[in-house]
């Protein structure tokens, strides 16, 4: 009942947003490397996106926007416009003329913090205009434009999309010297306007509107997070910290489904290499002024002449292989080319899912490009791994995810940016990580055919390309409590038992474009 949520519409929206976010990070990278001076990154990124084939000017849509679902999060106002949720960059009320009457189609309710979000399905919204500015004194708000359009929705019974804008700190930036306030816009679904009145002293009267959320829409995760944070006892808490203080942030285990506990394993934070293997530290860089000169930093050179992370720690885009600065480099541990080697920064929790055993999620919003965690375990030769009975926790190194498809053609659209040549990893180079006996939170991340994370090959403490670290990064903005997943990349029909017989496992990821087989 809430619009076209077809696989095609959803994947189009996700692709557009990924592309936009990638352009933003790319422009930010260029600015950080002092290659160019960008004014407003978001506005410039939209201009680049407009040149892209799949982009079309958003139509005025009444009701749900195809491909956008309740709970979707955005970090730039312009993203709301790109997907057609709220087409104007500044005003709070977007409107259109339908059957000769101007009606509101969406509002952005800004200000405040997520914790202040009212949990009732009612919203009081203040109209626009009337505020004092540098040149003008305050005046009564007028019943015209957006204000009139929103009032008209009472008689036309038009559903209005509501987006909440909050100020807050991005988790990926917590603890980082360049952390700054960022905004989050959360789509809350469709409301109807039930009342409109004027308030305030003469000369500064404002319009107030009462809106009611249309029943039957999914609950906003922010409400559940707020309740969870406020309650003293966490429902279903099985273990306060499965890492036993080995991680900087505790990782709790939540089970609200049954009485089960995870099967015991040893929590480790670092990959265990074969005893005979002597790790050799790579040749490092000599930078003492921040690894930002991509032509001088030896590590940037290894990355095709760029530092693959923004100053806030976000990965710019996936590549077959990334080199972080390491133990032989002269730069300090705070160098931004060390985004994934310091461990988990986003609070994660292990929870019992309905269908796929244990899974991983976060109570915080995660912004696209953030580092999540490593896949830690025991490093084995593939030949040894093949003999292992329990194959549930094996990660076969050698596949690589890259954004080449998405990124193709874009460099030419961004003036002054050349494409960097990225290293190609060899496929299936002979090593597997087994996290059955020893592992970290990464061992609990499930597969999805429509994942929100990807596995990035990273080298930092040695140069051996056969066994890079497997580091998970967010592929998009992830709202709180959404399960974190990556694509296991099995080739269907190619997974065999030790007698060579093909193994079949059903995929239960539940995504609309699920291909129904894990292997």
Taking the alpha carbons of 50, 56, 62, 63 in that order, is the dihedral positive or negative? negative
Q: Are strands 349-352 and 358-361 parallel, antiparallel or unpaired?
A: antiparallel
Q: Is residue 489 a contact residue for ligand SAM (CB under 6 A)?
A: no
Query: For the residues of 204-224, what is the DSSP string, one character each?
Result: S-EEEEEEEEPTTSPPPHHHH
Q: Which residue has the tokens 């709301």?
A: 80
CB-closest chain residue to ligand SAM: 357
> Quick one: which segment of 209-217, 329-337, 354-362, 417-425 binds ligand SAM (CB under 6 A)?
354-362
Which of 139, 392 has the CB closer to ligand SAM? 392
Range 347-364 burial, b when 16+ CB lie within 10 A, else e: bbbbbbbeebebbbbbbb
Which of 108, 518 has the CB closer to ligand SAM? 518
Among 356, 419, 420, 489, which residue interacts with ligand SAM (rule: CB under 6 A)?
Answer: 356
- The answer to whether 432 touches 395, Cβ cutoff 8 Å, is yes
- The answer to whether 229 touches 324, Cβ cutoff 8 Å, is no
Query: SS3 letters for 128-153?
Result: CCCCCCCCCCCCCCCCCHHHHHHHHH
Binding pattern to ligand SAM, positions 219-248, x when CB under 6 A? ------------------------------
Binding pattern to ligand SAM, positions 302-341, x when CB under 6 A? ----------------------------------------
Structure tokens that stand for 397 in this block:
């190194």
Which of 125, 395 has the CB closer to ligand SAM? 395
Backbone angles phi and psi of 37, in degrees to 5: -110, 110
Q: Is residue 497 a contact residue for ligand SAM (CB under 6 A)?
A: no
Nearest to 410 by CA among 54, 130, 60: 54
Among 63, 236, 343, 357, which residue interacts with ligand SAM (rule: CB under 6 A)?
Answer: 357
Taking the alpha carbons of 112, 16, 32, 311 in that order, is the dihedral positive or negative? positive
Q: Is residue 508 a contact residue for ligand SAM (CB under 6 A)?
A: yes
Which of 369, 439 has the CB closer to ligand SAM? 439
| Integer Rg of the chain from CA | 25
Binding pattern to ligand SAM, positions 418-457, x when CB under 6 A? -------------------------xx-xx----------
Q: How far is the CB of 515 from ligand SAM (least distance, A)?
A: 10
Structure tokens that stand for 361 in this block:
């999620």
Q: Is residue 507 a contact residue for ligand SAM (CB under 6 A)?
A: yes
Which of 182, 360 has the CB closer to ligand SAM? 360
Which of 457, 485 has the CB closer to ligand SAM? 485
Q: Is residue 358 a contact residue for ligand SAM (CB under 6 A)?
A: yes
Which residues here bind ligand SAM, judged by CB under 6 A? 356-358, 392-393, 443-444, 446-447, 507-509, 518
């Amino acid at each position: 009942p809430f619009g076209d949520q077809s696989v095609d519409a959803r994947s189009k929206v996700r692709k557009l947003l990924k592309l936009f976010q990638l352009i933003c990070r790319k422009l930010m990278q260029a600015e950080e490397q002092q290659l160019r001076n960008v004014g407003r990154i978001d506005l410039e990124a939209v201009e680049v996106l407009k040149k892209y084939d799949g982009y079309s000017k958003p139509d005025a849509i009444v009701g749900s926007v195809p491909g956008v679902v309740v709970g979707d999060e955005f970090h730039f106002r312009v993203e709301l416009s790109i997907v057609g949720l709220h087409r104007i960059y500044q005003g709070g009320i977007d409107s259109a003329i339908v059957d000769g009457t101007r009606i509101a189609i969406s509002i952005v309710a800004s200000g405040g913090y997520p914790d202040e979000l009212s949990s009732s399905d009612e919203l009081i919204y203040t109209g626009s205009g009337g505020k004092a500015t540098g040149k003008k004194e305050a005046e009564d708000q007028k019943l015209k434009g957006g204000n009139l359009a929103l009032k008209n929705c009472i008689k036309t019974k038009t559903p209005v999309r509501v987006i909440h804008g909050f100020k807050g700190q991005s988790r990926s930036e917590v603890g980082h010297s360049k952390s700054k306030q960022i905004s989050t816009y959360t789509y809350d679904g469709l409301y109807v306007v039930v009342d409109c009145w004027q308030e305030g002293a003469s000369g500064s009267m404002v319009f107030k509107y009462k809106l009611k959320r249309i029943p039957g829409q999914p609950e906003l995760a922010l409400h559940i997070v707020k309740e969870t944070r406020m309650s003293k006892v966490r429902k279903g808490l099985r273990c306060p910290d499965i890492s036993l203080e080995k991680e900087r942030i505790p990782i709790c285990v939540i089970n609200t489904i049954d009485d089960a506990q995870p099967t015991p394993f040893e929590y480790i934070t670092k990959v265990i290499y074969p005893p005979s293997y002597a790790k050799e530290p790579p040749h490092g860089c000599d930078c003492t002024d921040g690894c930002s000169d991509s032509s001088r930093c030896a590590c940037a050179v290894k990355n095709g002449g760029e530092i693959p992370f923004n100053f806030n720690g976000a990965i710019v885009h996936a590549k077959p292989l990334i080199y972080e600065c390491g133990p032989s480099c002269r730069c300090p541990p705070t160098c931004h080319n060390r985004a994934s080697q310091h461990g988990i920064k986003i609070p994660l929790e292990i929870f019992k899912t309905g269908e796929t055993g244990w899974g991983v999620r976060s109570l915080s919003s995660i912004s696209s490009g953030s580092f999540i965690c490593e896949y830690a375990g025991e490093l084995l030769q593939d030949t040894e791994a093949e003999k292992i009975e329990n194959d549930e926790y094996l990660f076969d190194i050698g596949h690589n995810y890259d954004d080449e498809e998405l990124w193709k053609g874009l460099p030419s659209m961004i003036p002054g940016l050349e494409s960097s040549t990225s290293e190609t990893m060899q496929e299936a180079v002979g090593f597997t990580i087994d996290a059955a006996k020893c592992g970290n939170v990464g061992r609990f991340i499930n597969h999805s055919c429509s994942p929100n994370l990807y596995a990035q090959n990273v080298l930092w403490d040695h140069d051996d390309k056969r066994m890079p670290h497997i580091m998970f990064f967010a592929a998009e903005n992830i709202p709180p409590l959404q399960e974190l997943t990556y694509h296991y990349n099995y080739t269907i029909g190619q997974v065999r038992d030790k007698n060579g017989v093909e193994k079949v496992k059903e995929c239960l990821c539940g995504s609309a474009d699920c291909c129904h087989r894990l292997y």
